[in-house]
Every structure is written in structure tokens, then in C-alpha cells.
A and B are shown apart, each in its own frame.
Chain A
């Protein structure tokens, strides 16, 4: 109570347009979804906001739908809903695996996928799977909607392409025939932990040849990243132990980790190799 966040004004709009109008009109206003990042940041004054616009009651921003070609996940959808969704289970097992590793049940019942992406922490755990799925992000502003591929979404350390006054509306993921996937997250303790490194891999293998592969990692660069060079190396090649090892080494050379209180650059690079090796082997079906 006493070391809570500063006094704030609070709005809880019912529609997206209402929310956008308040954001445009009221100075110093900021979107709040689950608040699991924002309130922590406000407590420590990393973020200062006077007005909060709560988007949890905006129906357009919530829910998971199977739209045939695309799966649509509303930005304000709770992580726990994603974890429990049959659609996600069936079509997006990689996303499910990542979400399962996030926070605790209590946190997942507050936290949203949109909040995770918009905070744009290098350690964001929904980012590697969504990068691997090549998700498209729909951003709403007063002037309408724009669609940004996730590869263009993170613009720097804790920065995104979402402008002031805009709201991330939803995440679109194209259904695609992947033959294998794998996700690994390493934290400083066994569970309920932020990542030191996480790796996500999607693969399509046909007659032992890599048709397509996507590799994404977090906590090894200023933003979550794709390992494009390693993907390039793998595409069209016949799967094998040496190939996977070589690709994992390329992954380790593509990352640019730093030393911080959570880990060291050396260890993160070593683990980028390790996790890439693990996830690639599993997704490609290599012993």
C-alpha cells in the first residue's frame, strides 16, 4: 500500500475507438493491460505515467480465433487463456510451450501477449515463437489500422514501432505445415524465471531435406532476434548431426549478448550454441 505506484487517473474504455480517443486527448496517458510490467516499472520510476487507460474491457482486443488461413490472437488476451486454448494447442504448439514457461499461474492470469510484445524486453518470452511463426502485428491508431511483420516490430532495446497514441490490436499467425518444433528456455532457477537464453525452432523436413526452418532467440541481443544466417545455411540441406552442429555454431556467432546481473556474455553465447543444438536436433529429428 505505502510503496505503491503514484496517484493516477484511470480510464476503462469499452471500445477500441474510445480507448484511442482517450489516448489522443489526454496528455501523459499510457495503456495498461495486465500491468505486470507497467506497474513494476512505475514503482521504480522507470516509467512515469499520470493517466492509465485500461484495455481489459475492450472486447475487440481479446480472444483467440481460428480464421481459416490465420489464427488471430487479441493483444489483450491473457497468457493463461493462450495456454488453455485448444486452437493454440492444435496449431501453435511452439507458442504454447513458450507461454507455459512464463511467470506463474497468478502472473499469467493478468499478463497479456500484447503487453509482453510492447514492453519489448530482450527477454520477452512470446517473442521467439512469434518471430519463428513470422507473425503479423496489427496496430490501431485514430487514422486506422496498419500491419507490421514482427521482424520489423522491435526497433531497439525496449523500443517498438508502436507510436504514442497507438494500440497493438492483435497478432495474426499464418497456418503452415511445420513438421517439427522445439522450445528451450534457460533461467537462473528451475521455474518461474526470466530467461538467460531461450530458443525457438520451427522446421519443415521432407525426405530428410530441410525445406524451411526458423530459429529465434531471446536475451542474447538488444531485442529478441531471428538467426537468419543459420536458417540460410540449413535450408535445402540434408539433415545430419554435423550440419546441426555447424548451424548451432552459426547461431552462436549471430548473437550479441552482454554481461548483466542475470548472466554473462560468455555463458549466453555458450548456451545459444547449446540450446540451438538441442532445439534444432529435436525439430529436425536428428539424433
Chain B
């Protein structure tokens, strides 16, 4: 009996997508790293520091916009324990590190464009000396006029953040569908508002750090707080002018990223590598909390002008949207963020006529960057506030109105992309409305808008395209190797940044597919020694990151089945491998270890890579139509609030989520992602506010003055409703979940407060002062 070995990725993905019973998938198995972390044994970058290593810090500019004359640091070097002050002149390769547009230096050159921009690296023997030396580096520069307001910066030609561009608009986007004028002429109600959202600081537990260890012949290893080791490798190689293969990056456990370390990680790695390159000794470069908050990119601050129309029968007829992103001093990933915001601006609704324009605008502020949701929360906030206003004008219940317009399998998005399947949001919202007692509570709170404490309930939905936008290449990869003792090594570039994909879902997938005992699986993650798996961002750690694991494991499984069929002369259906037990026909039983030993002795190849290149369509920028994303994840949340009208204090009492994110591999892991995102979203809406002074300085650069939520503010988070709308390429049909619950939170809370007070909300954050002023508008 011979059965063909299946090596084709699509066939393997499909085989496991259609699986009907599961061993480990779908179960809340314990993470491999939980004990280590609870006991404080898990090692983060600093924990690899040893006696004798050098230390380094970055020096930050203290002007928002200026032409550099020179840098003076003789005083810093007077201390013999200070070895070098490195500037852009010391960069052997390229100083240019812009991700989307080549506009950003690793260390300032020619101009300073924001207060907090790194201008030099100080390297010395001990932290005290380095901390003092940082204050002794003086930047001599001629101040230039500053721009802080993106709307003003768009119009100005006389003051330019980047002269070479001739404009302060870094990037534009557009969507054109149907005819918006016709659409609005068919509308019976039209709502038009301008929404404003604000920056957000990531406030991860572990500030940025990198330990660079030079090796023989100019090779270098960098242990860094980073979300994409292979990108770090590329940037370090470019900055040092050496081949990528000479650079090894390791992301050990990372103390939170949320996108911030996707932007800043490679730059920290490159600055540490630069120091180690010159000093030829291991160097630990670390950001203090203040350095971190001053310098690394923040969540997009957006101005969204939104006009929408609907007919009396409750159908959306048109939207017209203008999005302005304040990208700060550098584009960073701003163009990608804007692109995503633009494509998602309708919300997950069918809108026949749409005109959307996006502008990514330079100002002299800390750059805008990647942050959970990536451009999406501000536009969903605007879109969902609009939906509530329209529903109100139409006399419809907000949930009913949403359901009437919601995308379903076969619907077309505003970019003209048809979504054939995996669109579970309609079902999810319907179930959520029932389980959250939406109708009863909405009516009850509507009828009792009196007294000091007022309750409100709000709903919001969100969607998020999986993978990179449009035709930007995206792939998955991994390498799996089975040792002679039956243990399994899995190599992936995905990072453990708190979410647990390498320590939970990846192991479960391998155990499911190979049928080996789960405790024999070791996932070696976050390293350039693994194949390039892409970044651990965009909710892709499992959804895209683990496709390669499915393919590699599927290949080995297929080889083992083919081998057993031939060896024992049975059909594939007669072979069962699960949980370490191997059953062949009704005669042969063996342990997994025995199978591996047998396979080794008979020449079966037990190593495999699992490369998969995601199929995509194309987007036409000229006409603003085309393929945007391979698939979307969806979420709906209902939030309940209580507003203290005496003080403006808002308590979020309860949040009820519903997700359509394909197959849930590990329910507990998904739950923790959802809870974390809800709390982070709550903080963003209610209390987090970056204060920028007239000198462009982030004033609250510490966690005393930049307040984030604690356990006290955490609402009751109800058991999520799941609709498992499988994605054809996802591991067992899984889609991304990491960012999802953040996306609708601003809208859900704002809509709930709006409901409690009976007042429209267009501006975040809803701090106690802000809510108090809303109260005053209503009750005087």
C-alpha cells in the first residue's frame, strides 16, 4: 500500500481546516511559559546583562525643530569612564531607517524635527557615568518655526518639516465607490460631524532595551525588545554596512509591545549594535521610562470628518470621509496606518457610495506609530458614533440599524472587494444583543435620565483586515525538526510578547497535527535562526504566523502516514496518531517515540519547513478600488457605564464582547487578549492623555502623570460570544484576535456615555473634566 506524500501547502491547510474532531485545538491548555513568569525566572533583555559589559543611553533633542550646527560633548568625555559619544557621523552604513518613506535618520542629521528625537548615543562603563554624561551632550542648533497642528501644517508651504518633499503631506489615500452625490440625494437623513482622537502611549511594563554582543569578524548578536527579529536584522545590517547573515537577533521574552516595539525595536537594536561595533565589547543600551515616552512613536491622533446618509427604510446610502493623521516628525509606519484607516472607514457595513480621502501630515511632534488597532480605532469611533446618530434620526434601535446594513458572506466592501465567506459579524451581533439584554437595558436607561448617577449602554462593532494591506507581500514560515528521542523542535520568528502564541497555540497546533505528546514540543521563537516568519504584529502571531507551522507539521505527518501505510501495508484511514499513541490497523500499537525511532531507521525525513505565501489581489490607487485584505476579523461589544454627574467620573460597569475570529485555538489565550484590549481601550478613552508643551515636549513622561487603568477600573467582562467563521488559509481556520477588542472600545464607551447623558460625543479622551463639561452642557 502506498499513499502519496502531501507536500503542497494548500492541500495541507485544507486537510486540517476540515478536521472535525480535535485533541488539543480548541482547549485552554496551560501556556508553556506561565510558571517561569509567575516565579520571576523568565528572562527579559536586561537579565542577560553581565559584569563587565558596557552601558549606553540615547541623548534626546531638547528642541522641537532646529537646524543642527554641531554637537558638543567634550565635557561628557572628561569622565574617563565614558568611552564614546556616537553621532550620525559614526554610522558605517546607512543612517536612513524610515520604514515607509526614507525620511528618518537613526541619529539626527542636519535637522532636529521633534523634542525627544535621538541625536547621539553615550557609551560608558557604568550607569551613573552614562546618566551624567547624557546631560553633558550639548546640541548647538538654530531654531526653526514649529508646526503642531496637522490641519495647519497641511496648508503651510513656508514651514516644512521635510524640505525635500515641498509639502507637509507625507502620504495620501483614497477610496471611490459609486456616486456619493447620488447617494446623498437618496438619503432621508444625513449626519455630519468632525471627530478628534488623541495620542496614546504604549506604557509597556518593559521599556526598550538591547544588548549587542560583537562576535568574530564583525558579526554581531543583538538581544532586543523587538517584535520582528528579521526586520531588526535588516536594519542593523544596513546601519553597520554588513550582510544580514552576519547579524543575529534574539527577542527573549518581551515585556509588552502593542506595536511600539515593532517601530522602535529595530532602532534600539541598531543603536546598541552601533555602540558594540565601535567599542568591540558587549553593550547594553536601555531607555529609561522617560526616554521611552519622549522618543517612541504613539497611537495615531486623528481628525475625522464624517458625513453619512441613510434612507427611511434604514439603509446606508453614502459616506464621505476625510481622515487626517498627525504623523509627527516622521512618517514611520504612518502611510500604512492611514491606508488601513481609510479602507476600514465605513465600518463593517455595506455602503453603496463612498468617497474617502486620507492625509498623513507631518508636524513637529513625537511620531505616530503602530499601536493595537493600527489606525482603526479612530475611524470606528467616528463611524459608530455616526451610526448611533443616524439610528436616532431614523427612530431605529442602534443594534437593528447596524444589523440592517451589516456585511454578510457575499457582501462587497467600500473598496469593491467581495467577501465570499468568513463574515460572521451579523450573527455575532445578533447573539450579543440577546445575551447582553441590550433591548431591556437600553430602554430602561433611556427612561431614567435623572439623578446624580446616570447609566447608559452603548454598542459598537469593528472589523480588521488580517495580514498586510493590499498586495503587500505576506507569508508564513517555520521549520520543524524531530529529534531521535521523539522530541520536536519548532522554529518560528514569531515573538513571545505577552500574547502567548509560541507558548500556547503553536504547541497545540503541532501536537494536534503530529499527534505527539505536547510536552515533547519546544518552540524556539523570536530569533533570526528561525525562518523569516514576518512580524508579531497585526494580530498575526497565530492567524498568519502559525500557517507555516501547520504546513511544516502537516508535511511531516503526511510522510509518517505514507511510511506507515507502506511499511504495514494499510490504508491511511487505518492509521491513528494522537497524544503520543500510534495505532496502525488493528494489530500494531506503538508509542510516538517508537514510531520516530522506526522512521529514523528507515530513512524518513523528519525535518520540514512550512513556507506559505498568502494569495492576494491588487488595489488600484488611481480609482481607489480593489483588493484590500485576504480576510477580516470582526467584533461587537456592548458597554454599560455609570456617569457621576457631580464630578464627571465614568465607571464602566460591564463590557460584553462578541467575536467572529474564525477557529478559537486556545479559548483562555483569546480571552486574555480580549480582556487586555478592553482594559487598554478603556484607559485610552477615559484617562490617558499625552500632554505636549509649547516646546513640543511630552510633559507627562512618567507613569505618575501619564495615568493608565488599574484593576480598580476593570469592569466586569462577560463571557464572549464566539462565531467560528473559519478562514480558508488560517490554522484550522483561525483569524487574528490580538487587536480586536481595542478597536470598538472608544466607540462603545462614548456611545454609552452619550446614551447616559443624551448628548453627542465627537472628541476623545473622555477624562473626568471632559465628561463634566458634557454634563454641564446638558444639565447646566
Q: Which residues of A contact B (CB under 8 A)?
A: 1-4, 6-7, 40, 44, 186, 188-194, 196, 261-264, 266-267, 270-271, 274, 278
Contacts and interface: CB of A to CB of B under 8 A. Distances in A.
B709 interface: yes
A261 B700 contact: yes
Contact of B710 (A6, A192, A266, A274): A192
20 contacts: A1-B49, A2-B55, A3-B286, A3-B288, A186-B647, A188-B687, A188-B707, A189-B709, A189-B713, A190-B651, A190-B713, A192-B712, A261-B691, A261-B700, A262-B705, A264-B769, A267-B768, A267-B772, A270-B772, A274-B646
Interface string B746-780: 00000000000000000000011100100000000
A2 B291 CA distance: 13
B94 interface: no
Nearest to B708: A189
Given A193-B707, A271-B647, A188 B767 contact: yes
B607 interface: no
Nearest to B288: A3
Contacts of A196: 768
Q: Which residue among A40, A196, A261, A278 has the maximum number of chain B CB atoms within 10 Å of its CB?
A: A261
Interface of B: 46, 49, 55, 127-128, 131, 284, 286, 288-290, 646-647, 649, 651, 686-687, 691, 699-700, 702, 704-705, 707, 709-710, 712-713, 767-769, 772
A191 B46 contact: no
Contacts of A262: 705
B673 to A, nearest CB: 23
Q: Which residue among A4, A188, A189, A274 has the maximum number of chain B CB atoms within 10 Å of its CB?
A: A189
Contacts of B713: 189-191
Kindly list the 10 A-B residue pairs having the minimum CB-CB distance in the complex, ordered from nearest.
A191-B712, A267-B769, A190-B712, A3-B288, A261-B691, A261-B700, A261-B705, A188-B707, A190-B713, A192-B710
A40 B704 contact: yes
B500 to A, nearest CB: 26
A4 B699 contact: no
A261 B769 contact: no
Contacts of B767: 188
Contacts of A3: 127, 131, 286, 288-289
Given A40-B704, A193-B707, A271-B647, 7 more contacts: A2-B46, A2-B286, A7-B128, A188-B768, A190-B710, A191-B710, A261-B700
Contacts of A186: 647, 649, 768
Nearest to B710: A192
A261 B705 CA distance: 7
A194 B704 contact: yes
Contacts of B700: 261
A248 B702 CA distance: 34
B191 to A, nearest CB: 30
Nearest to B707: A188
A189 B710 contact: yes
Contacts of B702: 44
A32 to B, nearest CB: 18
B699 A261 contact: yes
B54 to A, nearest CB: 11
A270 B49 CA distance: 51
Contacts of A188: 687, 707, 767-768
Given A189-B713, A191-B712, A1 B768 contact: no
Contacts of B127: 2-4
B290 A44 contact: yes
Contacts of B651: 190
B712 A6 contact: no
Contacts of A194: 704
Contacts of A189: 686-687, 707, 709-710, 712-713
Nearest to B682: A189
A171 B707 CA distance: 32
Contacts of B772: 267, 270
B679 to A, nearest CB: 12
A151 B411 CA distance: 71
A156 to B, nearest CB: 21
Contacts of B284: 2
Contacts of A1: 46, 49
A264 B704 CA distance: 17
Nearest to B289: A3
A153 B700 CA distance: 29
Contact of B647 (A2, A7, A192, A274): A274
Contacts of B707: 188-189, 193
B187 to A, nearest CB: 40
A39 to B, nearest CB: 13
Nearest to B699: A261
Nearest to A4: B127
A67 to B, nearest CB: 37
A2 B54 CA distance: 11
Nearest to A43: B288
Q: Which residue among A1, A190, A264, A274 has the maximum number of chain B CB atoms within 10 Å of its CB?
A: A190
Nearest to B690: A261
A7 B284 CA distance: 19
B327 to A, nearest CB: 24
Contacts of A193: 707
Contacts of A4: 127
